[in-house]
Each structure stands twice: as C-alpha cells, then as structure tokens.
Amino acid sequence: MTDVTIYGAGIFGLSIAWACVRRGARVQVVDPHGPGAGASGGLVGALAPHAPERWNEKKQFQLESLLMAADFWREVRVAGGRDPGYRRSGRVQMVENERGLALARERVGEARAHWQGEAVWQVLERNPAPGWAPDSPAGAWVLDTLSARMHPCMAGAALVAALAARGVAVQAEATPRGAMVWATGVAGLVDLSAALGREVGNGVKGQSALLAHDARDLPQLYVEGLHAVPHADGTVAIGSTSEREYEVPDTTDAQLDALLEKARALVPALADAPVVARWAGVRPRALSRAPMLGEWPGRKGHFIANGGFKIGFGMAPKVAEVMAELVLEGRDAIPQGFRVQASLGR
C-alpha cells in the first residue's frame, strides 16, 4: 500500500486524494484552513469548454475531463452520500452581431471535428430558453451541450464525505509520509516561486454572488463576459470579476455591485432576485495559463498540482487521474504545456 500526503483541501487536492484512494493508496489530506477555504470555496461552478477552434493539448485535456465528469461525480456521490450539484446542463450564449454570427457558425464544424460526437455546438434562430435567456441582438443564440455546472461548496463537501467513507479525514496537521502532493493554491505558487528563484504564477482576485432564483433545470448563460449559473439548490451564481491588482483579497466591494447591476439588466429573470451570498477570493494562475502539474523540480518524491484558476473544477477529474497515475505508478501522461517547466519558460 502506497502512502501519499496531500497538502491542500481545494478541488485539486481533494480530487487527487479520491483518485489515489480508489487505487488503493493510504492517503492523508492536510490543510490548516479546512476544505475549500481558498479559491475552491467560491460560488460560480461553470464547467464550460474553451471555444473549439485552434485546437491544442489544453483544450483536448479539458474535453476529456468534461466528458469524465458525470461518472466521476456520480461515484463521489454514491460513495459519500452527498450531492455535488453536478449537471450537464449546457450553455446558452447570445450572438451580438453579424461578425459574431459568422464565427459561431464556423465553430459548429470545429466542435463536430474535435468533440468526438459527445456534444454539439449549435446556432439557433429561436431562443432555446425563453424567459431565461435574454434576447439576442443578432437574432441568434449559441447552445452547446458540453457545458456543465456544479456548486463548488457542494462538490467539495461531497468529496470530503466520499473520502471520509474510506477513512480519510482532512487534518489541520499531520506527520508527512510517502509521496507529497502540493495543491496549495496561491500560497503554493509563492512557495514554489521562492524555491525555484523565479516566478511561476500569481493570484487573480475574483468576486461573485449568489441569487435566490430557482432555474435549476435550465442551461447556464454567458452574456457579455458574465456567467449566470443555475445551481441544484435553487440559486443562481453570478460571476465574476478578474482583478490583477487588489488590496484586500477576501472582501467584496463596488466591483461586485456593478456586476450584479449588469446581471439584472442583461437577464431580466434576475431583476428582483435577492442576493443570498457574496464571495471574494484569489484564484491561482500559472504563468503558462494552464494547470501546473508534475514533479517538483529538484525535490524527489514531491509533486505539484496548482494553477486551476477559472477552470479548476472542470479540469479536476482528469487532473486527478493523471496525478494519481504519476504518483502511484510512475506513469507520466501530463501534457508538456502543463509541466512546471512550462511556467519557467523551459
């Protein structure tokens, strides 16, 4: 039985722990702040694919992860008895103009070529969710059937419950044993940068809100850079800001007020929905702009899983798989662009 110590109880740390436990490893998860205390404790949970053109290894990895998600989260739910709030609900986007319409139509073929027949990108001339999706300036809407959603807090709690059912608890501290996986978010990027003598990533603050409006059976919306994500608990998440410069990392301010005002104007169904939660946090972003995975350079037996930024939940099933294979079996299936060296420019 292989020993693994995982530092960090965010989405990457918990998912890797689950993948290792499933493979028979003896795992301990250590986080002094508790599960989902950082960026993984957010509200939005939009599991949306990148645009299907200019295909690359990052988009392929994300596709495979999104296609794995239903089975991954079903297994987690069954093991721990907690609902992660996952649903492959699809996503609607409003087409803004003729140029946008031409691009949307090009993407129909690109999705057909790359999405393996598992999902489609459609351009529709009739609103696919009337009363929910707003009017389109160009009289057309994009509906993709690959996008999914989950409630981040529900997903984290479901993973904690699944691990607990296998005898693994999140501990504030523990004596290290075996291989060590560092999934410690922004703090981990700072530590890794210091150890390597070169910046490998940084934090980007985001703010989001939760509104009391039950649209749980409807697709998520993406309009003018704003996500509106219906959750399983009868709320809708609105997000998010993207702030490179900030003074206070975990408080909301006028930028979120402006985002809410924009959401109410763009999505009339939310005009009178009360705000039930506001959230702010700093998301880890690797300089490579892809998740940072693999061995810690120069530290045998230490591994990095970081840089999920805005796509961490969508990437988590595949990240968990390749990291468990690497740590437990020595099998390296990590794309070149995801390695720590990619953020070092080597």
Under 8 Å CB-to-CB from 329, ≥6 apart: which residues? none
Is the domain covering 3-343 a CATH 3.50.50.60 domain? Answer: yes
Work out the average pLDDT over 27-44: 97
- Spans of all domains in the chain: 3-343
Condensed to tens digits (0 to 9), the pLDDT of residues 325-337 reads 999 999 999 999 9
Determine what percent of the chain falls in helix, strand and coil, rounding each to the nearest 5: 35, 25, 40
Residue 338 phi/psi, 5° resolution?
Answer: -100, -5
C-beta of residue 157 within 8 angstroms of C-beta of residue 239? no
CA distance 201 to 192: 9
Condensed to tens digits (0 to 9), the pLDDT of residues 132-187 reads 999 999 999 999 999 999 999 999 999 999 999 999 999 999 999 999 999 999 99
- For position 1, what pLDDT does the model report? 66
Average of per-residue pLDDT values in the chain: 96
Q: Which amino acid is at 117?
A: G
DSSP reduced 3-state for 47: strand
pTM beyond 0.95, yes or no:
yes
Cα maximum dimension of the chain: 60
Name the pLDDT band for 343 (thresholds 50, 70, 90): confident
Work out the average pLDDT over 36-62: 96
Residue with tokens 């998440």: 237
Condensed to tens digits (0 to 9), the pLDDT of residues 260-313 reads 999 999 999 999 999 999 999 999 999 999 999 999 999 999 999 999 999 999
